[in-house]
Amino acid sequence: MRQSTNLKSVLTRPRAPVDAVDPDRRVVGIGFATGLVVEERRCLDGRGDLPARRVAGGSTILGKACRIAPVWFVARLKGAPTAATEQQETIRMTQYMMSVLFDENSGPGTEEEMAAVSAFNRRLQAAGHWVFANGLADPESATVVDGRGAEPVFTDGPYIESKEYIGGLWIIEAPHLDVALRLAAEGSEHCNRRVELRPCHSA
Amino acid sequence: MTDVDAIITRVHHQEWARVVAALARRFGDLDIAEEMTAEAFAIAVERWPADGVPPNPGAWLTTTAVRRAIDRVRREAKREEKHREALMLSDTEPPEPLGAIDDDRLRLVFTCCHPALAMEARVALTLRMVGGLTVAEIARAFLVQETAMSRRITRAKDKIKAARIPYGVPLRSDLPARITGVLAVLYLIFNEGYLASHPATDPVRADLTAEAIRLTRLLHALMPVDGEVVGLLALMLLTEARRAARISATGELVSLADQDRGAWNRSLIAEGHALVRARVASGHPPGRYQILAAINAVHTDAPDVRDTDWSQVVALYNQLLRLDPSPIVRLNRAVAVAELDGPEVALAEIDTLPLDGYHAQHATRAELLRRLGRSAESRAAYDRAIELAGNSAETAFLIRRRDQLAGDTVDRSDG
């Protein structure tokens, strides 16, 4: 919990409380090169607070856009009911994969580890970092599939035998690596294993 | 060197990092920042001798570099959409007040020294982006092929973009650890200059020590209230002050006890002492670099080695051990213990340390055994130290010490 306040302040810094007017809609980022506004919709469907994204094609950016530099600028949404009065700094998020590294001695997670991971997951969701997480079954249960030929070829077992393997993964979203590193450190602490943090290609 | 050449060299020292940092912030791209800054300096070299030096060289260089960068970004924006999406992220959060001026160069330093980069990449990137050394110069400094060094720097810049290492001052809670990381990079550059690790280079590389001090002075100017930055600067100054006395005319390392203290640089010592005194007066508990600086202050305070306040040195090492209980600190402490409590006590301490692969342990053992009259063991320890030492001046020193051992001729005739 020690970092949640800090992270939250990094992630949601509306100049005005956007959600107060339209809790369902807020600008979370702007695809700078394409000029598209990306919105976050909060799906409150009982499964928790899972953000989904869509591109708002009809919106126009009114803020002053520097044509050279990707300096984050204040943007407004035209046409949105809240647009006239709301301003918010935009934050472009990057997705990172956090792979949990297992080795021969890892064994299954203990109850304490599972509970700690669940608590961590809830915090990721609450702070808007969560995209996906799950554990993986043993590497021996894997099948390598090569569909490039006329007939697909199935091979039993992992594509590489190694002493270390990925036992689970998270996909998280963070505005930059420093935030992602802190989350990875927390994730590693909670699942009691090392994790590898790797950025996804930016969309 | 003409006057204009001298001015360009000086301006390069003073303005390089500022121009790179300003461009990196504006364009979100270290490549563009680096290349356009280099280009602006190349234009200056071409034009200033004929046109005269502009009244504000730094502003001229920034403007020139920015114009070039705009041209380039326009060209690339047309054909390469992808490029824009890979832009580096600039500060997402305004930095907490650090008691420092808000300077783009500070962002540049923290980005280049980011802990997600390998140490060697941090060193290379810092020397290139902040120090303004050419890739060829950095490659030479670390005995790496220029193409390999160029790849190392490119890979680091690519990771900064892909992993979105921010161009900014760290989150407040990360700050102490991140400052420590920056200081480690600067200290490594200094040490490589002060005791070059490879036999093929000069034993002391004044270019690297000078560069490390220049960069640390810059950091100190940017973060004047950070005690460890002060400590590292003082440590470097007090070490650098002894550089001229440290290598003999025949290229041998001269031990602290045998150095000509008249050859020490008094003004550097005075500056270092003033910094140490200011830290002591602040009443804040000192960190590692401040303690190391204080130890060096004690040494440089003694007009003769016999005047050294060894009990003070041991007390400072005890303080350092509480922060860093590493075998290397214990080894250095043992050297001071030998002066205070005698070589036997020190030897007993050293023999428990797991430092068999470290030349300094064997060199220290050899000296202590020699004082105890245990020549054969001392010789064996010198042999092992010579085998492990990488610095040519240190090797020369160790060979001479070994060959001076009592009973040398007897041993030789026996062998």
| Burial A36-67, CB ≥16 within 10 A → b, else e | ebbbbeeeeeeeeeebeeeebeebebebeeee
pLDDT of A24 above 70? no
The confidence band for B95, taking pLDDT boundaries of 50, 70 and 90, is very low
Average the pLDDT over B319-325 and give the result.
95
Residues in B closer than 8 angstroms to A199, CB to CB, are 162-164
Average the pLDDT over B216-224 and give the result.
90
CB contact under 8 A, B90 and A33: no
The confidence band for A182, taking pLDDT boundaries of 50, 70 and 90, is very high
| Topology annotation, domain A94-199 | Alpha-Beta Plaits (3.30.70)
Average the pLDDT over A123-138 and give the result.
93
Count of other CB atoms within 10 angstroms of residue B129: 26
A202 touching B, CB under 8 A?
A: yes
Quote the percentage of chain B above a pLDDT of 90: 67
Option in B73, B92, B164 nearest A10 (CB)? B92
CB contact under 8 A, B164 and A10: no
Option in B26, B70, B86 nearest A202 (CB)? B86
Contact between A75 and A63 under an 8 Å Cβ cutoff? The reply is yes
pLDDT of A154 above 80? yes
Which of A37-46, B108-117, B190-199, B346-355 comes out lowest in average pLDDT?
Answer: A37-46
Residues in B closer than 8 angstroms to A33, CB to CB, are 81, 84-85
CB contact under 8 A, B165 and A92: no
What is the rounded distance in angstroms from the CA atom of residue B205 to the CA atom of residue B191? 9
DSSP sequence for B250-293: TS-B--GGGS-GGGS-HHHHHHHHHHHHHHHHH-PPP-HHHHHH
The pLDDT assigned to A14 comes to 34
- State the smallest CA–CA distance between residue A7 and chain B in angstroms: 10
User: Over the stretch A159-176, which tens digit does the pLDDT of each residue have?
Assistant: 887 888 999 999 999 999
pTM, two decimal places: 0.75
Contact between A173 and A92 under an 8 Å Cβ cutoff? The reply is no
How many contacts, defined by CB atoms under 8 Å, are there between A and B? 67
The pLDDT assigned to A89 comes to 43
Contact between B141 and B197 under an 8 Å Cβ cutoff? The reply is no
The confidence band for A11, taking pLDDT boundaries of 50, 70 and 90, is very low
A178 touching B, CB under 8 A?
A: yes
The pLDDT assigned to A42 comes to 32
Closest chain B residue to A182, measured at CA: B174
A35 touching B, CB under 8 A?
A: no
The confidence band for A57, taking pLDDT boundaries of 50, 70 and 90, is very low
Mean residue pLDDT of chain A comes to 65
pLDDT of B378 above 70? yes
The pLDDT assigned to B224 comes to 87
- State the smallest CA–CA distance between residue B139 and chain A in angstroms: 28
Average the pLDDT over B305-333 and give the result.
95
pLDDT of B10 above 70? yes
The confidence band for A131, taking pLDDT boundaries of 50, 70 and 90, is very high
Q: For testing the chain A interface, which of B89, B112, B172, B178 should be mutated: the one with the most A CBs within 10 Å?
A: B89
Residues in B closer than 8 angstroms to A13, CB to CB, are 93
A175 touching B, CB under 8 A?
A: yes
CB contact under 8 A, B27 and A68: yes
The pLDDT assigned to A171 comes to 97
pLDDT of B147 above 70? yes
Residues in B closer than 8 angstroms to A203, CB to CB, are 85
The full 3-state SS of chain A, as one line of letters, equals CCCHHHHHHHHCCECCCHHHHCCCEEEEEEECCCCEEEEEEEEECCCCEEEEEEEECCCCECCCCCCCCCCCCEECECCCCCCCCCCEECCCCEEEEEEEEEECCCCCCCHHHHHHHHHHHHHHHHCCCEEEEEECCCHHHCEEEECCCCCCEEEECCCCCCCEEEEEEEEEEECCHHHHHHHHHHHHHHHCCCEEEEECCCC
CB contact under 8 A, B166 and A69: no
The confidence band for A74, taking pLDDT boundaries of 50, 70 and 90, is very low
Average the pLDDT over B387-402 and give the result.
91
* β-strand pairing of A36-44 with A94-103: unpaired
Chain B, 385 to 414: residues with Cβ < 8 Å from chain A are none
The pLDDT assigned to B80 comes to 56
Residues in A closer than 8 angstroms to B166, CB to CB, are 176-178
A48 touching B, CB under 8 A?
A: no
Closest chain B residue to A92, measured at CA: B89
Between B331 and A90, where is the model more confident? B331
B171 touching A, CB under 8 A?
A: yes
Q: For testing the chain B interface, which of A67, A178, A202 should be mutated: the one with the most B CBs within 10 Å?
A: A178
Quote the percentage of chain B above a pLDDT of 70: 91
User: Over the stretch B155-197, which tens digit does the pLDDT of each residue have?
Assistant: 999 999 899 998 888 877 888 889 998 999 999 899 888 887 7
Residues in A closer than 8 angstroms to B115, CB to CB, are 181
What is the rounded distance in angstroms from the CA atom of residue B299 to the CA atom of residue B280? 17
Portions of chain A given CATH number 3.30.70.1060: 94-199
What is the rounded distance in angstroms from the CA atom of residue B160 to the CA atom of residue B169? 15
The pLDDT assigned to B85 comes to 52
The pLDDT assigned to A16 comes to 32
Mean residue pLDDT of chain B comes to 88
User: Over the stretch B44-84, which tens digit does the pLDDT of each residue have?
Assistant: 999 999 999 999 999 999 999 999 999 988 887 765 555 55
Between A31 and A194, where is the model more confident? A194
The pLDDT assigned to B88 comes to 59
Quote the percentage of chain A above a pLDDT of 90: 38
| Domain extents in chain B | 3-82, 103-201, 356-415
User: Over the stretch B80-93, which tens digit does the pLDDT of each residue have?
Assistant: 555 555 555 555 44
- State the smallest CA–CA distance between residue A70 and chain B in angstroms: 7
User: Over the stretch B312-321, which tens digit does the pLDDT of each residue have?
Assistant: 999 999 999 9
Sheet holding A49-56, edge to edge: A25-31, A36-44, A49-56
User: Over the stretch B250-308, which tens digit does the pLDDT of each residue have?
Assistant: 888 898 999 999 999 999 999 999 999 999 999 999 999 999 999 999 999 999 999 99
Sign of CA dihedral A20, A24, A28, A33: negative
Option in B73, B162, B174 nearest A68 (CB)? B73
Average the pLDDT over A53-58 and give the result.
35
Option in B86, B116, B162 nearest A181 (CB)? B116
